[in-house]
Structure 1
Amino acid sequence: MAYRSKYHGRYSGIGAMLSRPWLQRPCRDAAVRMKAAAEAHAPVGDPAEDKHSGRYKASFDVLPIVKNVPFRGKPRMRAGAQLINSAPYAHILEYGNGVTPRYAVFRKAIDDLKAAHRG
């Protein structure tokens, strides 16, 4: 008969681990990899015609965050990192608006990182 392991997770211990500051470093490292992938897909206009050429690509930033993630109805603070683009037209480039085509830079960056971890 094969031995069958039994694991009973302690939610308080897992929650304590997820709220520790040292967990922000791996989250930040993942966001930095995502930033590099997003910058690779960012459109850059022709400098002769576009006075903001490269502004979108240079506007990516990684921020540390502490987010409230409720568990069983109680607030729990969790460490993490956030990738943002502070260009005023970032939403238009991501989703398009009829005049500007949809570039989906963040979606392409996510797809690249998923493909890198598949095999």
Structure 2
Amino acid sequence: MAAKFRMSRKGVGQLLRSPMVEAEMLRRADVIKDAAVAISPVGTAAWDPHPGLYKASWHSTSTRRGGRRKDRAVATVWNSAPYARWVEYGTERVHAHHVLLRAAQAGGR
């Protein structure tokens, strides 16, 4: 006799918001953050007024009420340096480093 499976939307929702799933999302975010710190560029004191600020500005957080509908656990990795956008995407004078992109591709497992 074949087994029958009946999905419970409420049960799936509880699973997606569970502390267990949130902890796993945060663990993966921390792996990505560590990879980003490892490959972050550091300027020299000769031309960078704050050498090491970008590398020291990585953060990760998690919440159980994330996603578009606020119905699942999510984790976020970001850099709080004021010039993080230009390091990631570059400018017309400086090439893009894509630190977060490369960290996400390498980590998160």
**Do they fold alike, i.e. is TM over 0.5?**
yes
Q: Distance in 1 between matches of 2:2 and 2:44?
A: 62
Query: Do structure 1's residue 20 and structure 2's residue 18 form an aligned pair?
Result: yes
Report % sequence identity.
Answer: 32
Q: Distance in 2 between matches of 1:47 and 1:6?
A: 66
Cα-Cα RMSD: 2.2
Of 43, 65, 82, the match for 1:88: 82
Letter in 2 for 1:90: A
After TM superposition, the structure 1 stretch with the greater mean CA deviation from structure 2, 88-97 or 22-31, is 22-31
TM-score by length of 1: 0.77
Aligned position for 1:73 = none
What is the correspondence of 1:1-119 to structure 2 with a 5 Å cutoff? 7-65=5-63, 66-70=65-69, 76-113=70-107
Question: Deviation string for 1:23-46 (max 9, x for gaps)?
Answer: 221111111100011111110011
Q: Distance in 1 between matches of 2:2 and 2:102?
A: 41
Bigger relative contact order, structure 1 or 2 (CA pairs below 8 A, ≥6 apart): 2
Structure 1: any 5+ residue segments left out of the alignment?
Answer: 71-75
Structure 2: any 5+ residue segments left out of the alignment?
Answer: none
Runs of 4+ off more than 3 Å: 3-9
